[in-house]
Amino acid sequence: MINTNSNNLFMVVDDEFGEDEREDTIYHMGVPRELALFASNYDEAIEILAKEKDIKICYVDFRIPKHSQQLKANYEDQEEWWGQKLIPQIKAFNRRADIIVYSAYATKSYLQNFSREFKGIVTAYFEKPHGLDLRREYYLRAINKDLSFNYDDFNEEAKTILLDRAVKIKTLLKQTVKNMLETGAYLNEVREILPHGYYLNWVKKEIGIQPISAWRMANAAEKLKPYKIEDLDPIGVTVLYHLTDPDVPIEDLDKIIKSAKSQPLSIKEAELIKREYKNQNKQQKAEAEVEKTKFKLLDSASTQLIDKAQTNKSLNSSSLKQNIIQVIPRQKIWYLGANQQHKVIAADPNSPIFLRELPSTVSLCLAFPPEQNWQFQFMHRYTTNIFDSKYEDFDDLLILEIVDRIMRISTEGQDNVAVCFIPNSQILSIIHKLDCHAFVADPDYQKCLNLVKLFDSIKG
């Protein structure tokens, strides 16, 4: 809801804005009429600026006439583009006002170069006819500056792109397939621009959606790149979310989408497809565990026979001597990293030894338990809502990809991350690369040792 404070004025300077366009703007912006100011030429805009000191934002058409007697600006002569001449005057009257420039005639590259020339003065630019939706979003940003993302750390080019993508994403959030895919593509672009630790904050402050929603859109957009909108549109957004789930192999996704073009899928059917793949993965994992257990039993039996033979030999050879046996306990805790910021503990995640080592604040918990109903007994609060308590049987590369994505949208530098049960020895390298602190627990001593050795070899 827009704050209707009388200080939240906005001004549109456009010679092609008649009464109908002005009424449409007021209606779409959702503001009282008294907050809207309109000028159709340079002189009118200067007159308004001289009287009104509380204008929050100005939308300026590049090509406007200087005065009312000049019916239209000379679109061939840049000297007659009085809209761009108005820009420095706006700042002279009101240095805090945001300025948005737009045009139906100037090219996007020209607008972009102009914005760079006036960096720190022009907030953003856009081409007509992308008007009403963008005007509203920039207005909301202008009257809620304290709530928006801080762009001080970025250069003008990155800032302009990020602001533009934030506005476009919010105007696309209506869930059509086209909008979902465009939104996901923009989110992927933003994630590449922002350093690690900024993306989650940007999504929350600029877009106002949950990180998991952003991940679903970005994931779907990436996987559905090869397909045409007209082929995907009949399938529907929710169905596509289910079909692009990590459990569904990419090669099977193509077959399902081609089939869905002739035989549309319901949401329930899509859920069943996803569940079938999930169950198949679990079955494959169970079979692999059986084989692994058989191997361990055979290996254990062989080891016991060898140990027994060696023990008998040792007893026979030392019957006249008293042996002093020193028992050396196996290492259970490893401190890794230049500042020993990572801890790996060979123990159950719910064991006192691990729970004591955890800090009071954990930003993210990544859990890969062997049992579906397993629960983590950590008593403190997570600073994010993302906590995966279900065992997902993905292949190794997919696990690492998912962990990397979740880390990038859910953590910032120096955050604490708990890992319950080791899914892959490379997981610590991902956490280290993203400048977070890892607290890893697994009762399998060999898994812990493998993780430590791999990390040391990479760091070494």
Pairing mode, if any, of strands 333-336 and 342-345? antiparallel
Q: Identify the DSSP state of 203.
A: I
Amino acid 76: pLDDT: 60
Amino acid 323: pLDDT: 44
Amino acid 394: pLDDT: 52
Cis amide bond preceding 195, omega within 30: no
- For 218, residues 6+ apart whose C-beta sits below 8 A from its C-beta are 184, 187, 188, 191
Amino acid 445: pLDDT: 92
Amino acid 293: pLDDT: 55
Domains, the chain, ordered by start: 1-147 (3.40.50.2300), 333-459 (no CATH)
Amino acid 334: pLDDT: 93
CA distances from 391 to 216, 401, 431, 433, 454 (A): 19, 16, 20, 24, 23
Residue 110 amino acid letter: Y
Entry field: residues in the chain: 460
Handedness of CA 445, 446, 447, 449 (dihedral sign): positive
Cα 283-289-290 angle, rounded to 5 deg = 95
Half-sphere exposure of 276 (CA within 13 A, CB side): 9
- For 77, residues 6+ apart whose C-beta sits below 8 A from its C-beta are none
Distance CA 415, CA 397 (A): 24
Amino acid 206: pLDDT: 83
Amino acid 188: pLDDT: 92
Please list the rounded mean pLDDT of every run of 10 residues in the chain (460 residues).
Answer: 63 86 76 87 95 90 83 59 88 88 75 68 69 69 66 79 78 77 92 85 82 86 91 88 86 88 83 84 64 55 54 51 48 88 93 87 86 74 44 62 81 88 90 92 92 80
Per the CB < 8 A criterion, the answer to whether 366 and 417 are in contact is yes
Distance CA 143, CA 185 (A): 28
Q: Torsion over CA of 60, 61, 65 and 69, rounded to 10 degrees? A: -80
